[in-house]
Amino acid sequence: MKVLVINPGATSTKLSLFEEDKDILNIKIPHNIEELSGFDRIVDQLPYRMVKMQMALEDAGVWPLDVDCVIGRGGLVRAVPSGTFAINDKVLEEITAAKYGEHASNLGIPMAKQLSEMCGGIPCYFTNPVSVDEMEEVARVSGYKGMYRKSLFHALNHKAAAEKAAEKMGKPYEETKMIVAHLGGGVSVCAHKDGKVVDVFNVKDEGAFALDRCGSLPVNDVIKFCYENRHESHKVKFLLGQRGGVYSYLGTTDLIEIEKMIDDGNEEAALIFEALAYQLAKDMGAMHCVLLGQTEAVVLTGGMANSKKLVERIQHYAGHLAQFIVLPGEFEMEAMAKNAIKATKTGVHLEY
């Protein structure tokens, strides 16, 4: 069985063609920032990206496309349980209206649907979007009535990495208790208990800072920042969500460059790097409490998990919690393919 996987990003679209569990073709389609800036909304890019995708598949010699199903990256949708969803009119309507926010990943669902129609109406899906919500009710309480903690995290890679870690442990994922940390441009540290993610440090505004995101901040300082600078809300979101974290201190999000700065004696770089490891370890300690001290493994995944120096510093603080399993990089394309093929073979999927 063959499946095409579509993963739209801010400045590129990644395509992978899988035959069962074998990745037989990878294409990365770059998008010119100036061209993209001509579109008022993310969804307006759909015709442009579809043409680029068809041209890339033609150049690769695989068009007309012969696949059994197609799956697109799940974007900003409503809170849903983990699993694989058939793309229907309801999710297309919400994505088109950007009901839950604008993000390039929103294009994955309509791109998959259009490709499905071009291939004769083959099954089309999305799986484990960032809004997967399996949190326990006690974890939702924020400290101010009317405000609730939300489940937003790198669900696709979390679930994929957790299942790989469970295999290494020789147990079904549904019978494990582990802490998983996705370490990318953004970070998310979560408690996985018996197959569900029961508590989450929200990737947008909680927990440790990341390469370009602030994480938790002192509330009174945020209020002062907004009022004294008279920033509009979209400007504040941009500064704290895309120009925060390590970037705000060191002017770069390149971890290799940062490690070189440290090796060259840059004391501020050394401090910020240490603080990153320190805060991530603190988050892991909190999730260890959520799991009642029964954590069986701490799983590190994402691009920053390639840094031996960062892994070593995190283990310095949190190594006593449980065994560490390091799975660098991301498994998103593989996970999407696996879930789409399973849904097509079994006929079992969730309805949005």
In the numeric block, which tokens belong to residue 235? Answer: 């400007």
Helix (H, G, I), strand (E, B), or coil: what is residue 147?
coil
Nearest to 131 by CA among 172, 93, 94, 165: 94
- Whole-angstrom distance, CA of residue 97 vs CA of residue 28: 27
Residues 125 and 34 in one domain: yes
Nearest to 214 by CA among 258, 272, 298: 272
- Whole-angstrom distance, CA of residue 184 vs CA of residue 187: 6
Condensed to tens digits (0 to 9), the pLDDT of residues 106-134 reads 999 999 999 999 999 999 999 999 999 99
Count of C-beta atoms within a 10 Å radius of residue 306 = 15
Residues 149 and 203 in one domain: yes
Q: Read off the CATH number of the domain in which 286 is found.
A: 3.30.420.40
Residues 107 and 183 in one domain: no
In the numeric block, which tokens belong to residue 254? Answer: 């390149």
First and final C-alpha spacing in the chain: 25
pLDDT for res 32: 87
Domain of 219 in residue numbering reads as 137-321
Residues 113 and 141 in one domain: no
Residues 241 and 92 in one domain: no
Nearest to 236 by CA among 223, 250, 251: 223
Residues 87 and 199 in one domain: no
Residue 89 domain-assigned (yes or no): yes
Condensed to tens digits (0 to 9), the pLDDT of residues 23-39 reads 999 999 999 888 898 99
pLDDT for 232 beyond 90: no
Domain count, the chain: 2
pLDDT for res 230: 84
259 contact partners, CB below 8 Å, separation of at least 6: 273, 307, 309
Average pLDDT score over residue span 292-306: 98
The sheet with strand 2-8 has its strands ordered as 22-30, 12-19, 2-8, 69-72, 124-127, 84-86, 350-351
